[in-house]
Amino acid sequence: MKPLNLLFMNLIEDWKRRKKTTKKHHQKLINRLKRETPKKLNALADTVHEEVFNELDCLDCANCCTSIPPIVNRTDASRIAKHLGMKSAQFQAQYLRQDEDGDMVMNTSPCPFLQTDHTCLIYEYRPKACRKYPHTDNFEFANHFKLHQQNTMYCPAVFHILERIGERLLF
C-alpha cells in the first residue's frame, strides 16, 4: 500500500498530466450530466466529493489560491477587516479590486493571505467563495456545470470528481 502523501501527490500529478488533454472529454461529460436528474447527480457528487477529498489534501496543491481570485462580498470584507484590525474601507482599498463581471475580488494572485506552506492566514475568516470551493458537495453540484468545467483546469479534486462521476454513470 502506498503512503498517503504519495497517493495525494499521484492524484495531483495525474491531474497535471491530463488536464489539458481531457478538456473536450469533460465538455462532453458536462453536457451529458446536464440530462441527469439533479437530485440523483447531487447525491452521487456528494459521495464522490467525499471519496476524492479523502485521497487528496488541498495543502499539497493550493492551486485555487494561486490562480483564482475569490469573490469577496461585503460581509466577507467586514469580517476579514475586523480580524486584521482594519476598517472595511481600508481593507477593500488595500486588498480588493472589481473584476470584469463587476464582482469584488482579491487584487492579487496568489492570494495575499496564502502562506508558503499553503495554509491560509485568514482561514477562519476566509471569504464565502473560499469556504464553498469547489462547489461539488452539499447538493450544489448540478447548479454549477459551467464552473466545474472551468475548475478542472485549476483543481485536481474537481477533475477527479468529474472523472469518477463519468465512470459511475458509464459515459
pLDDT in tens, 46-70: 999 999 999 999 999 999 999 999 9
The answer to whether residue 4 sits within a structural domain is: no
- Do 77 and 156 fall into the same domain? no
pLDDT at 9: 60
pLDDT at 60: 94
pLDDT at 171: 59
Q: What does the block give as the cell for 27?
A: 465538455
The answer to whether residue 121 sits within a structural domain is: yes
The answer to whether residue 11 sits within a structural domain is: no
SS3 of the chain:
CCCHHHHHHHHHHHHHHHCCCCHHHHHHHHHHHCCCCHHHHHHHHHHHHHHHHHHCCHHHCCHHHHHCCCECCHHHHHHHHHHHCCCHHHHHHHHEEECCCCCEEECCCCCCCECCCCCECCHHHCCHHHHHCCCCCCCCHHHCHHHHHHHCCCCHHHHHHHHHHHHHCCC
Question: Which amino acid is residue 56, in one-letter code?
Answer: L
Between 170 and 14, name the one with better pLDDT: 14
Could you give the number of structural domains in the chain? 2
Host domain of residue 108: 71-125
% of the chain residues with pLDDT over 70: 94
The answer to whether residue 22 sits within a structural domain is: no
- Do 78 and 96 fall into the same domain? yes
pLDDT band at 102; cut points 50, 70, 90? very high
- Do 146 and 112 fall into the same domain? no
With cell 464553498, the residue in question is 132
